[in-house]
Structure 1
Amino acid sequence: MTTRDTTRESIWTPLDLESEGVGGADELLARLGEMGPDELARLLAQEKGLVFRGFGVTPDRLDEVLDLLLPNRLAYVHGNSPRTKVGSNVYTSTEYPQEFTISMHNEMSYAHAWPARLAFYCQIQPGSGGATPVVDAELWLGSLDDEVRAAFAGGVRYVQNLHDGYGLGKSWQDTFETTSREEVEAFLDPTGAEWQWKADGGIRVTSVRPATTRHPVTGTETWFNQADQWHPAGLGDDTAAALAQILPEDDLPQNVTFADGSPIPAEYVVQIRDRGLEHAVDVDWRAGDLLLIDNILLAHGRRPFTGDRRVLVAMSD
């Protein structure tokens, strides 16, 4: 059964695809098999996000479902958020303290290549809260002041400082899923990034990327960067002030400027963060539910929660 929110014509929401009563992975696999990969791709480009509700998929059947939703699952190489790998290119969602909101972002929009699709799976539903908010990235772009959009027209410059096993943020070994410097350099070489191995064994990676992109099928232009998450102002005044006392800006685990190296005003960052959250639609979780999103058309985040919550994520090109 396919259900539509009655407000979909005025307020975008993801499309709910509900169990017809049988439930379980077998029903969902049959539904996806009938749909076929081409129809799934068409529907996802049209709807931007699909929620599979009431099927009650169990962890032992997840791989079979993901094989159809994500034909070519990708490793989270060069990912900047803390995660744990729990299966065949399946990871925990960002391991960030549960009392905080994770602001809206398109996965790996700071990288030279990013996943086209993300699939989220709820293994353990939260006690309360814990929704995954999603926002139409075209709407997010349009919600920003003209001054902000114009300022970002030249793109952004990301800087990562990855330690060698001890320090703030992620190590380069975790980030690139290797202990080989040669493999890191081979990965970075075709990306257009610049890098420098540091005396303490860490590495600094600098990349200039566009602030928006266009969807390869629909042609839609979307806000597509993580300036607000990489900028100290996006962390809130108290956290930013605490970091400033520990490290100079150039040595933060991650930082961002405009493409020419000039600073991004804090008020721009706050506007970007807040308007993304303002226009977001919450996807609430029940155990066994899945959410499939187009990573260019939708950005995602996480609401605070209480109790246990375990949401897994996988991605594909």
Structure 2
Amino acid sequence: MATHESDAALWAPLEITADDGGGAEALRSTLEEIGDGLGELLAREKAIVFRDFRVTADQLDPVLDRLLPNRLAYVHGDSPRTKVSGVGENVYTSTEYPPEYTIFMHNEMSYAHAWPARLAFFCEVEPGGGGATPVLDGALWLRSLDPEIREAFSCGVCYVQNLHDGLGFGKSWQDTFETDSREKVEEYLDGSGAEWEWKADGGIRVRSIRPATARHPVTGTEVWFNQADQWHPVGLGDETAAELATLLPEDELPQNTTFPDGSPIPAEYVRQIQEAGLTGAVDVDWRRGDLMLIDNVLVAHGRRPFTGSRRVLVAMSD
């Protein structure tokens, strides 16, 4: 295998490129060479891109077994995804937003009481144009924000979800928690420290207060680690936010964020967070069969707009 780092002035993922045409066996051999050092390598490099191994979807399962020690279901996930059959346990499509939209930088499930430690992305169908997955050093993101914003968020973030019962805007509680059992939802939420209430229409409102930053359990690095900007109405874009405001009162939006005391997060804070995230990100362009493994605490990710087809699968582990 050949390894090299990007010439980017700041951080960029480590790239490991296949020798001799690659293939799933070559990738498995590469991962065997790395062996038990994968965790240490990932903590140091933060993200690893495996190029030109030409893995196919039907070869993915044993590869993911090596990259992700305990694949997780997307329980309490907030973005629209589809669980994929025939490629192994707990593999999902990446967020199913229209191709013309940018998905801003975020750490997966940073709004939750527990989140995946690792994510693996697999390009099954490369985009016709665009469609890169930008990745971002979370410590750089934190440093790039104005001191005023860092201070304002020092008390944390309050996330509010309104999940419908099968008909409405956003996701249903059944899709979100991957169950039809109210008892299982209640058990999960009670263990998460969230406040919740069932509504008369069969939906549920969930309120969670979480920190705005996190420290990596191995390196101790502090990173920007929240989704306040994505859940905030401004994060929807002015046009979409305006349309929703005509249909729903603020406390009935599918998701929203405030500061923990209920005071609003200024729109200009949200815009700076998003702009700083995309400005500091490094684009990972996709070729069919490529994989990327990221440390979900140290690295945020997003999606650039694309044309044509694009199918990137994702799996997660603790």
Task: Give TM-score, length-normalised by structure 2.
Answer: 0.98
Instruction: Tell me the amino acid that sits aligned with residue 72 of structure 2.
Output: L
Deviation at 1:71, TM superposition (A): 0.7
Instruction: Summarize the alignment of residues 30-45 of structure 1 with structure 2, pairs less than 5 Å apart.
Output: 30-36=29-35, 38-45=36-43
Q: Are the aligned partners of 2:106 and 2:301 in contact in 1 as well (CA < 8 Å)? A: yes
Partner of 2:120: 119
Residues 150-200 of structure 1, C-alpha deviation per residue, up to 9 Å, x if partnerless? 000000000000000000000000000000000101111111001000000
Q: Give distance in 2, aligned partners of 1:6 and 1:49.
A: 12
Preserved contact between residue 149 and residue 269 of structure 2 (Cα < 8 Å) = yes
**Partner amino acid, structure 1, of 2:10:** I
Q: Report the CA distance shift for 1:183/1:100 in structure 2 as closer, same or farther (over 3 A).
A: same
Report the Cα distance in structure 1 between the residues aligned to 2:15 and 2:45, rounded to whole angstroms.
10
Contact 2:137 2:281 in 1 (8 A): yes
Residue of structure 2 aligned with 1:68, choices 66, 69, 76 = 66
Which amino acid in 2 is paired with 1:85? K
RMSD: 0.9
CA pair 196-6 structure 1, distance change in 2 beyond 3 A: closer
Aligned to 2:284: 283
How far apart, CA to CA, are the structure 1 residues paired with 2:34 and 2:279?
A: 34
Post-superposition shift, 1:239? Answer: 1.4
Percent identity, aligned pairs only?
72
Residue aligning to 1:11: 10
**Amino acid in structure 2 at the alignment position of 1:58:** T
C-alpha deviation, 1:242, in angstroms: 1.0
For residues 51 and 6 of structure 2, what CA distance do their matches in structure 1 show?
A: 18
CA contact (8 A) 2:14 2:49 kept: yes
| Aligned equivalent of 1:28 | 27
Query: Match for residue 252 of structure 2?
Result: 251
Name the amino acid aligned to 1:104.
M
Q: How does 1:79-90 map to 2 (within 5 A)?
A: 79-87=77-85, 88-90=89-91
User: Under a length normalisation based on structure 1, what TM-score does the superposition of the two structures give?
Assistant: 0.98
Residue 4 of structure 1 and its aligned partner are, at CA, apart by 2.5
1:40-59 alignment runs, 5 A limit: 40-59=38-57
Partner of 1:298: 299
Whole-angstrom distance in 1 between the partners of 2:157 and 2:272: 16
SS at match of 1:153: helix
5+ long unaligned stretches in structure 2: none
Shift in Å, 1:2:
3.4
Corresponding residue for residue 134 of structure 1: 135
Q: Which runs of 5+ in 1 are unaligned?
A: none
Deviation at 1:261, TM superposition (A): 1.0
Q: Distance in 2 between matches of 1:53 and 1:239?
A: 37
| 1:187 partnered with 2:188 | yes
* Structure 1 residue 23 displacement after superposition: 1.1
- Deviation track 1:82-132 (CA, whole Å, cap 9, x = no partner) reads 000003100000000000100000000000000000000000000000000
Which deviations, in whole Å up to 9, do the C-alpha atoms of 1:234-280 show, x marking residues without a partner? 12211111111111111000000011111100000000011100111
Matches of 1:12 and 1:2, distance apart in 2: 19
Who is 1:108 aligned against? 109
Number of matched pairs: 315
Please give the alpha-carbon distance, in whole angstroms, between the structure 1 residues aligned to 2:123 and 2:303: 13
1:174-253 aligned at under 5 Å gives the runs 174-253=175-254
The letter of the residue matching 2:194 is: A
Task: Return the alpha-carbon distance in structure 1 between the equivalents of residues 42 and 293 of structure 2.
Answer: 8
Q: In structure 1, give the amino acid aligned to 2:305.
A: P
Distance in 2 (alpha carbons) for counterparts of 1:71 and 1:277: 30
Equivalent residue of 1:4, what SS?
strand
SS in 2 for 1:134: strand
- How big is the shift at 1:11? 1.7
Q: What is the deviation of 1:282? A: 0.3
**How far apart are residue 6 of structure 1 and its match?**
5.3
User: SS at 1:85's partner residue?
Assistant: coil
**SS in structure 1 at match of 2:84:** strand
